[in-house]
């Protein structure tokens, strides 16, 4: 059972980092620091968007609009960390 818990913890950790990369890349593109038409940037953005968007879409449906600020990644990171803590508290022990 501990191996499954470690695997799930690793998957949540990797997903959290993909989410952070998606946020940072979105900011870099928005502020014209990186060029979105470059193949590497476009490919990385597409991959991170396809991985994170299915989890972010339901959260965005319930969050109020805060002046164009997207708070759904913060909510998702908090939920993922809560899930990791619950898993370590109940599954691993």
pLDDT given at position 26: 93
Write down the residue that tokens 């990797």 correspond to.
14
12 vs 68, which has greater pLDDT? 12
**pLDDT for the residue 24:** 96
pLDDT in tens, 38-73: 999 999 999 999 999 999 999 999 998 888 888 999
Output the DSSP codes for 65-89: PBTTB--HHHHHHHHHHHHHHHIII
Domain range for 22 is: 2-91
Sign, Cα dihedral of 93, 9, 84, 4: negative
pTM attached to this predicted model: 0.89
Which pLDDT score, from 0 to 100, does residue 11 have? 96
In angstroms, how far is the first alpha carbon of the chain from the final one? 10
Give the C-alpha distances (Å, rounded to integers) separating 75 from 3, 36, 57, 65, 88. Answer: 27, 26, 12, 14, 20
Number of domain units in the chain: 1
**Average pLDDT of the chain to the nearest whole number:** 92
């Amino acid at each position: 059972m501990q191996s499954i818990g470690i695997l799930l913890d690793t998957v949540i950790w990797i997903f959290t980092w993909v989410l952070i990369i998606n946020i940072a890349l979105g900011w870099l593109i928005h502020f014209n620091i990186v060029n979105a038409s470059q193949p590497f940037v476009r490919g990385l953005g597409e991959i991170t968007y396809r991985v994170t968007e299915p989890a972010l879409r339901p959260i965005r449906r319930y969050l109020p609009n805060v002046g164009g600020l997207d708070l759904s990644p913060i909510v998702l990171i908090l939920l993922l960390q809560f899930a990791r803590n619950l898993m370590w508290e109940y599954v691993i022990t």
